[in-house]
Homo-oligomer: A and B are copies of this chain.
Amino acid sequence: MAYEKKIPVDLDCPLRLTMSLIESKWKSCILDELRNGKPQRPSEIHKLLPEAAPRVLDLQLKEMVEDGLVEKTIYPELPPRSEYRITPLGLSLIPIIDQMLKWGQDHFDIFEKKYGAGKG
Nearest-neighbour CB distance to chain B for A50, whole angstroms, equals: 11
- The reply to whether the CB of A99 lies closer than 8 angstroms to some CB of chain B is yes
This protein's copies in its complex: 2
CB-CB under 8 A for A11 and B116, given A18-B101, A28-B19, A110-B68: yes
Find chain B residues with CB under 8 A from A102 CB: 14
How many chain A residues touch B (Cβ–Cβ < 8 Å)?
42
CB-CB under 8 A for A18 and B68, given A7-B120, A116-B11: no
Within 8 A of B (CB), among A47-102: 51, 67-68, 89, 92-93, 95-97, 99-102
- The reply to whether the CB of A3 lies closer than 8 angstroms to some CB of chain B is no
Docked Cα-Cα span, A7 to B25, in Å, equals: 14
Find chain B residues with CB under 8 A from A32 CB: 15
Nearest-neighbour CB distance to chain B for A84, whole angstroms, equals: 18
Residue from B11, B93, B107 in contact with A111 in the complex, judged by beta carbons closer than 8 Å? B11
Asked if A111 and B17 sit within 8 Å, CB to CB, the answer is yes
CB-CB under 8 A for A104 and B51, given A111-B9, A112-B11: no
Nearest-neighbour CB distance to chain B for A2, whole angstroms, equals: 16
